[in-house]
């Protein structure tokens, strides 16, 4: 075997490892720019060898076409931003390219060896659960428990972003319970779900907590037909225990109120009226002045998009969501796997009070929104049509 053949055989495992590290990068690094740097310097470079084949396999999929239209329109809106900043527009275009490569890598790995890909997702889910547990232990070892609002360890900038990411991993843990046979692993994933819910409870992340409960209940109702009532009762009991045992977290969330969000949304709506059709542009700086504060985010993905891309941008995005939900529902009915549908449901619910710009560096929105779209395209598209992939597919499949 030549060194070239050895490299080709090792390459998918190397890409899989880099991809897994990236999914865990939210908890590994302590600076919000580090996950992006790791992706750009490692995962993106490796993706260059497989991106063309993967994109050729998915480019006719209606979800991918709607995604491309949405991305290109927002990038185009940067041309009428004020002031026009070519450097920032170039940054957004680079991020869009990275998001596309992320989708291509997901597609390649899912088709290269689906069982190994699933085991990688299960591994990173357990890693995320360990990071969540460490966050709880380390934070409350130095702060009053449980009344102090939890702050997680890692690169994300606030607990709401952590809650969104942990919510996705909680859903992945729920899906994993269905596919693992060992009782030990089932118990680990169940414990992981409880830890993720605790992070949201002690972090007083109300939107993520409610959104996760909605997604879990929908998934339970669609999947566990024979044990549906038992699962729902179990979740209800656990949530009730949190309410009764640790009411301080609930009191903190209630006393915090809804904050400045309604005022921000009202001011943003008034500003958006000056450019209702095409918006102010992707790279225009949003500025909403409040007494003592100056907000540069809308705290609502749909209003943020309306401000940036106008009614046209919102309609394109709603079209993308409609197409994605339709395909995710169809996939769930055909395969009995509603995982992507429920992650998308969780994402849309959290977007109501957060997740401002989707075309941004890999913070919570990459795992929350782009990841389920990448999974959906991977599950519903054929294998990448590339010479490299054809050489590697046969050995990988025969080994499973």
Percentage helix, strand, coil for the chain under 3-state DSSP, each rounded to 5? 75, 0, 25
**Whether the predicted pLDDT of 291 surpasses 80:** no
Compute the distance between CA of residue 161 and CA of residue 167 in angstroms, rounded to an integer: 10
Residue 311 pLDDT greater than 70, yes or no = yes
pLDDT at 86: 93
**Whole-prediction pTM:** 0.91
Q: Which residues constitute the domain of residue 279?
A: 3-398
Task: Give 146 or 370, the one with higher predicted confidence.
Answer: 370
Total count of domains within the chain:
1
H or E, element range at 36: helix 34-38
Question: Does 289 score more than 90 pLDDT?
Answer: no
136: left (phi over 0), alpha (psi -120 to 50) or beta: alpha
Q: What is the pLDDT of residues 116-129, one digit of tens each?
A: 999 999 999 999 99
Write b or e for each residue in 77-90: b if 16 or more Cβ atoms lie within 10 A of its Cβ, otherwise e. bbeebeeebeebbe
Mean pLDDT of the chain: 88
**Spatial separation of the C-alpha atoms in residues 305 and 282, rounded to whole Å:** 9
pLDDT band of 36, cuts 50, 70, 90: very high
Ranges 40-54, 226-240, 371-385: which has the least confidence: 226-240
Q: What is the C-alpha to C-alpha distance for residues 341 and 337, in angstroms, rounded to an integer?
A: 9
Distance of CA 120 to the CA centre of its chain: 16
d(CA 29, CA 399): 34
> In this predicted structure, which of 12-16, 88-92, 182-186, 249-253 has the lowest mean pLDDT?
249-253
Average pLDDT over residues 240-253: 79
What is the predicted pLDDT for the residue at 389?
52
For residues 301 and 356, the answer to whether their CB atoms sit within 8 Å is: yes
Quick one: average pLDDT of 157-166? 92
The pLDDT score that the predictor gives to residue 390 is 46
């Amino acid at each position: 075997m030549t060194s070239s053949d050895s490299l080709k055989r090792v390459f998918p495992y190397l890409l899989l490892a880099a991809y897994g590290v990236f999914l865990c990068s939210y908890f590994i690094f302590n600076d919000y720019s580090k996950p992006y740097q790791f992706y750009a310097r490692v995962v993106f470079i490796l993706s260059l060898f497989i991106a063309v084949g993967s994109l050729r396999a998915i480019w006719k999929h209606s979800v991918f076409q709607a995604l491309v239209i949405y991305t290109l329109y927002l990038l185009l809106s940067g041309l009428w931003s004020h002031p026009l900043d070519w450097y920032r527009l170039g940054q957004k275009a680079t991020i869009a390219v990275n998001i596309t490569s992320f989708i291509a890598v997901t597609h390649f790995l899912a088709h290269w060896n689906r069982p190994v890909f699933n085991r990688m997702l299960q591994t990173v889910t357990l890693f995320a659960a360990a990071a969540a547990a460490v966050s709880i232990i380390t934070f409350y070892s130095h702060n009053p428990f449980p009344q102090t609002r939890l702050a997680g360890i890692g690169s994300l900038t606030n607990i709401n972003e952590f809650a969104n990411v942990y919510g996705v991993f909680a859903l992945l843990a729920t899906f994993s319970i269905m596919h693992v046979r060992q009782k030990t692993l089932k118990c680990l994933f169940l414990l992981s779900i409880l830890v993720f819910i605790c992070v949201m409870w002690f972090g007083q992340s109300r939107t993520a907590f409610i959104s996760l409960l909605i997604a879990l209940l929908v998934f339970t109702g669609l999947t566990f037909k024979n044990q549906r009532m038992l699962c729902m009762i179990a979740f209800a009991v656990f949530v009730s225990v949190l309410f009764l045992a640790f009411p301080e977290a609930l009191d903190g969330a209630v006393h915090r109120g809804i904050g400045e969000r309604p005022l921000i949304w009202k001011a943003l709506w008034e500003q958006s009226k000056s450019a209702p059709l095409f918006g102010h542009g992707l790279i225009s700086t949003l500025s909403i002045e409040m007494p003592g504060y100056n907000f540069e985010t809308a705290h609502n993905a749909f209003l943020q998009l309306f401000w940036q891309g106008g009614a046209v941008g919102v309609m394109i995005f709603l079209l993308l969501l409609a197409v994605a939900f339709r395909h995710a529902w169809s996939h769930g009915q055909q395969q009995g796997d509603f995982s992507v549908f429920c992650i998308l449901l969780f994402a849309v619910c959290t977007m109501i009070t957060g997740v401002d710009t989707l075309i941004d560096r890999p913070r919570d929105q990459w795992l929350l929104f782009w990841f389920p779209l990448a999974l959906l395209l991977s599950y519903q598209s054929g294998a990448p049509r590339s010479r490299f992939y054809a050489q590697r597919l046969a050995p990988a499949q025969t080994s499973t």
